[in-house]
Amino acid sequence: MTMFNRLPIGAAKPLLVALVLLGLAAMPARAAMTIQEVRTSSGIKAWLVEDYSIPIVTVRFAFRGGSTQDPSGKEGLANLMAGLFDEGAGDLDREAFQERLDDAGAEMRFDAGRDAVYGSMRVLADQKDVAFDLLRLAIEQPRFDQGPMDRIRAQIVSGITAEAKDPEAVAKIAWGKALYGEHPYSRQDEGTEQTLATAKPSDLKELRKRLFARGNLTIAVAGAIDAGALKRDLDRIFGGLPAEPSLVPVAETAPKLAQEVRIPYDLPQTGLRLAYAGVSDKDPRFFAAYLMNHILGGEAFTSRLWNEVREKRGLAYHIGSTLVNNDHASALVIGTGTRPDRAAETLSLVRAEVRRMAEEGVSEEELEAAKKNVIGGYAVDHLNSSSAIANTLVAIQMEDLGIDYIERRKQLIQAVTVEDVRSVAKQLLSADPAVMIVGAPLEGRKG
């Protein structure tokens, strides 16, 4: 996924930047805040957190359906499209559009992920009307002119060409194909040089038409704006979109386990990656799995994998695990890197720790420490700025967790028992994982 940013360079920039920095310094991370649900006359819904501590409005939105919607043979189309929304819209060519955006002092960003196309705008409150008109134009009437399209495509292809020489990038592509086969999740969000070469402006216009609609739109707003003004602005920005998108159905899938992927390279360090079954964040077992992962490898410096692999034996500079959740698949992934002559030992040790978790679960002391860490760190990680708040609220809506999720989250975590963790660990970690080895063949392999 490539993020395309349009940052202000005009006269309003210094004030916006200064206010942003002031806000970051002054805004404490907030565990409790008032979230309003705003619904407009055209049926557009958004979550709003009013905050007048600095005069900035941040809008974050998502259209469900990202690179999975790229037509076969035109992979990379959604990512290319995301790079062109500030390259001219309506009657404004690239230069005119960006000049007006700069004059408004607004930051506008778009990026395409697997399951959604995301956008955001941050602007001084007294400049929002001009900026929101430009955002409306970008969403409703992007020009996709051939010149800018060729330039952005060349930038993406340049990145793809450079990554083709990077063992980690090559391994990432192989890993996706091994885990997901022919599913869209196996494809590169950026596409390939060959698929991008087939893209035409008409393809971008058709994809935007299929994806951009009110029915698959999720919005969150934080900052110096009230509900009444926001309703009017939302209708102005998004009200002209069609009611429903035209999305291609995407099948549910799961990573293919019990396989080994070898990517031979002559490297000073061997990369190791393991994939196990995951759990959806809508699953009642999610927080038990989340806490289990936190104890296993999700928290640097204190996790079991960190202690066993790095602290006790010095086999790696970093090791960690994470729950990866997409709309149509979930996985628990472990990653590390070590000296080639210690890679077999490291892999054996990682697998032994996973087996111990599957068989024994966790202690009361480990669970209580994990709960404290996970609860205490949430506001710092997710609610420490207007942008972070807007991003978090979009994610909560897209996962359909409810407007009271931030309040309920602590209780959901506190309710998890040692037996809950033991049960989910056994369910997720007992199967033989998918393993990828990037580097030299393992020496003196164990397990």
End-to-end CA gap in the chain: 35
pLDDT of residue 319: 97
Q: Is residue 16 part of a domain?
A: no
Whichever domain contains 226, its CATH number is: 3.30.830.10
Whether 201 and 52 share a structural domain: yes
Q: Which pairs count as long-range contacts for 69-75, CB under 8 Å and 24+ apart, including other chains?
A: 69/207, 69/210, 69/211, 69/247, 69/248, 70/184, 70/187, 70/191, 70/207, 71/203, 71/207, 73/195, 73/198, 74/191, 74/195, 74/198, 74/199, 74/203, 75/187, 75/188, 75/191, 75/192, 75/195
Whether 313 and 168 share a structural domain: no
Nearest to 274 by CA among 324, 341, 342: 324
As for how many domains the chain has, the answer is 2
Whether 88 and 192 share a structural domain: yes
Q: Is residue 11 part of a domain?
A: no
Q: Is residue 344 part of a domain?
A: yes
Rounded Cα distance between 148 and 187, Å, is 25
Q: Hey, how many other C-beta atoms are within 10 angstroms of the C-beta on 190?
A: 22
Q: Where are the alpha helices (DSSP H) in 67-108?
A: 77-82, 94-103
Whether 208 and 143 share a structural domain: yes
User: What percentage of the chain carries pLDDT values higher than 70?
Assistant: 92
Stronger pLDDT, 13 or 207, i.e. the higher one: 207
Asked if pLDDT for residue 9 goes beyond 60, the answer is no
Stated pTM of the model: 0.91
Whether 180 and 280 share a structural domain: no
Q: Is residue 333 part of a domain?
A: yes
Query: Is residue 19 very low, low, confident or very high in pLDDT (cuts 50, 70, 90)?
Result: low
Rounded Cα distance between 72 and 175, Å, is 20
Last residue of a domain, one of 183, 209, 239: 239
DSSP H or E stretch at residue 238: helix 227-238
pLDDT of residue 446: 47
Note whether 346 and 336 are within 8 A (CB): yes
Whether 278 and 180 share a structural domain: no
Whether 192 and 299 share a structural domain: no
| Total length of the chain | 447
Q: Is residue 15 part of a domain?
A: no
Q: Which residues 6+ apart lie within 8 Å of 202 measured at CB? A: none
Whether 178 and 308 share a structural domain: no
pLDDT tens per residue, range 383-420: 999 999 999 999 999 999 999 999 999 999 999 999 99
Whether 312 and 196 share a structural domain: no
Average pLDDT rounded to a whole number, residues 118-141: 98
Q: Is residue 230 part of a domain?
A: yes
What residues make up the domain containing 212?
Answer: 35-239
Whether 274 and 365 share a structural domain: yes
> Tokens 């971008």 sit at which residue?
204
Whether 271 and 130 share a structural domain: no
User: What percentage of the chain carries pLDDT values higher than 90?
Assistant: 89
> Tokens 């960003």 sit at which residue?
109
The CA distances from residue 131 to 135, 218, 231, in Å, are 6, 19, 16
Note whether 415 and 248 are within 8 A (CB): no
Rounded Cα distance between 113 and 44, Å, is 23
Angle at 439 between CA 436 and CA 444, to 5 degrees: 85
Rounded Cα distance between 120 and 19, Å, is 18
Q: Is residue 64 part of a domain?
A: yes
Q: Is residue 27 part of a domain?
A: no
Whether 225 and 268 share a structural domain: no
